[in-house]
Each structure stands twice: as structure tokens, then as C-alpha cells.
Amino acid sequence: MYFDSAATTPLDPRVKEAMISVMDIYGNENSKHCYGFESRKKIDQSLARIAKILNVSSDQLCLTYSGTDSNRKAIKAAVKRFGLDNCYCSAVEHSSILDEILPKNWFDPRGKDLEILMGKNPKFIALMAANSETGAIYDGQLFRKKFPKSLILQDFSQSFAKGLRPDFENCDFGTFAPQKIYGPKMVGILYIKNPEMFSEISKDSHTKNVFLAEGVAKSFELWELESTINTQKYKKWQQVIETFFTQNIPDIKIHEKGYDRVPGLMSIAIKNVRGSELMTLLSAEEGIAISTGSACNSDILSPTQVIKHIEKDKTWQFPIRIGLHKFLTDQEVHDFCEIVAHYIAEIRTRGV
């Protein structure tokens, strides 16, 4: 049973089929011959299909190597223009952003230190749309209102995956990770509001993969087709899990439960139980996958940066992260709850 979809979702069979259908188109799209022209045409068609769903121009979309690569391309462009000291990010970003921004330039995502940040007059701000560990939703409109002249990057990987349309009105860059929406890995999408200002990205001629582009386009089309019904599933199953945990497992804490969160993504801390130990047991004994935080960012022996920022009490700094996906069943969700409760009780008994 797979409950780590915040890291990556299973590949939808229809996406796989679409990718296979174009694998014989192998020309380099930069080559000026019929094979290259065929590849260029197919890639352009894929971007046009994605642009239609996002209601943007295909010229505003770039294929990258991953969601991480998309974030880093935007940051690199900002640093080149403004210098690293003028680039800021929230303290709960994905590691692809935190690793690129000076820690002294991290800020609270809810604007608790907004006055201090305003005094620094940032030129570039990165604020994820929804947190990759807790599912908490952040207000991009607030930061656009307070910083109308700053370039704003929003990572839409988790919010889009759980059914929220991207807010392009309040950002200059937007990033997407197709493996969060049942698409392929090793490819990403970067939205640029004004591509003519960033030709080093928008005109990037790195060799692109036709079947990955086709897979991304197909995954976006399936997102549009199924988003409403999938979101309903996530909401139902999240309520089942959180209700079961609250009623049947003593001394737990659901991180950021009091805030708006995307459905289907939960961070739950269990008193006297390390998330890493529970994760290892479930994987080894039951073949169940959960995580302890962002797959790119978590060290199982220490709290993640996200958890350290939102939770100061060490009792609750070692949670499990549960990510839901559309291929789960009601029975699997029920069984998951029962099995997790059993192993939590076992770990606690050993501790005594």
C-alpha cells in the first residue's frame, strides 16, 4: 500500500501509453532536418496542450529537467540580476529553494515578520503555494500586495496535485512537478509571466525528450478531467484517517490542522514514536510506504527544516507524512489505519 504520493505518484497507465506511442520520435528538436522538425512539432504541441489547461500562452511555459530544476532556474535568473543578498524565500520551502537562498533571508510564510521583510525591500521572493510536508496553503496575494515590484516565485507542485488551480495573477514564476500528478519523473514545467525578460530560460535550447513532453501533457489533461473527483476522494480519505488517529491513538498531533490545507497530505506526530522508526517498520513488515518529510529534504535522524520552523516542541518534531493518491481504495485506507495503530502500540510497548 502506497501512501507517499507527496513525493511521487504512481504513473497513470494512460500516461505510460501516451509516452510509448511517441517513443519512435527520436530526433533532436534543435536539428534542422525532418527528424528534428518532427520532434520540435511534437514538443510544441505538448506545450500548447498544457498551456490551454493552464490558460496561459505556450510561450510562457518551459520544459525543464524537474520541479527542482524549474525552481533553480528561476532563482539563478534572479540572483544574476539582483545578487544573492536581495533574494528571499520562506523558511518552509522545498530544499531546491532553501539550498539556494541565504538562511538569513528566510522569512515566515504567513507574514509574521512581514514588517522586517518590507524594510529589506527584497527583489525576489519565493513562497510555495502549499507546503510539501503539512499541506498548509499560503497566501500569495498577501505578498504580491506588499511587494508589487518584487519578482515572486510560487512552487505549485503540491497545490496543483491536490486540485488547486495556480494563481498566476500573483506570481512571476510558477513551477510544476509532473510526477505529483501521475506523470513522468525527470521533467518539469516552469511558467514565466514575461518570458522575453528571461531569454536565458525561455530560449534555452537544451535537448528535450519527446516522450517526456507527451507524458507531461497527458498528465495535465487527466488532471483537468479528474481533478474534482480526485479531490473528493482525498477529502474523504483524509477525514477517515485523521478521525481514526484522533479517536484511537492517544497523544498525537496533526501539524497545522487549524489552517487551510490541501486535501490528501498530512503530517502527524506521535508522542514517543519517531516517524523514521514507524516508517521503517511499515515498509519492512507490511510493504506500506509513508515518509517522514519531503523526500528531497528529510534526514530520518533529525527534524526537517519545515518542522523545525512550525514546531518548537521537540515532542512533535518527528512526524510521519501521509500522501494520498487516486488509485487507493476505501478498504486500503481502512486497513492502513488499523495497521499503523498496531505498530504505534508495539513501538510504545517496547519503549516502556
pTM, two decimals, is 0.96
Task: State the residue range of the domain holding 165.
Answer: 13-224
Radius of gyration of the chain measured on its C-alpha atoms? 21
Nearest to 152 by CA among 178, 120, 180, 129: 129
The mean pLDDT value for 317-331 works out to 97
DSSP 323: E
Do residue 248 and residue 109 come from a single domain? Answer: no
Last residue of a domain, one of 176, 204, 224: 224
Core vs surface per residue 56-68: b (16+ CB within 10 A) or e: bebebbbbbbbbb
pLDDT beyond 60 at 161 = yes
- Beta-bridge partners for 291: 321
Q: Average pLDDT over the chain, rounded to whole?
A: 96
Q: CB within 8 A of 13, min separation 6: which ones? A: none
Nearest to 105 by CA among 133, 121, 137: 121
Q: Please check whether residue 2 lies inside any domain of the structure.
A: no
The mean pLDDT value for 169-181 works out to 98
Last residue of a domain, one of 224, 250, 275: 224
Do residue 20 and residue 154 come from a single domain? Answer: yes
Q: Please check whether residue 93 lies inside any domain of the structure.
A: yes
- Beta-bridge partners for 267: 321
Element spanning 269, H or E: strand 265-270
DSSP 12: P
* pLDDT, position 210: 98
Last residue of a domain, one of 191, 224, 257: 224
User: For position 25, which CATH number holds?
Assistant: 3.40.640.10
pLDDT tens across 31-85, in order?
999 999 999 999 999 999 999 999 999 999 999 999 999 999 999 999 999 999 9
User: For position 297, which CATH number holds?
Assistant: 3.90.1150.10
Q: Please check whether residue 3 lies inside any domain of the structure.
A: no
pLDDT tens across 178-235, in order?
999 999 999 999 999 999 999 999 998 889 999 999 999 999 999 999 999 999 999 9
d(CA 102, CA 181): 31
Do residue 180 and residue 296 come from a single domain? Answer: no
- The number of angstroms, rounded, from the C-alpha of 293 to the middle of its chain's C-alpha atoms is 12
pLDDT beyond 60 at 299 = no
Instruction: Please state the domain count of the chain.
Output: 2
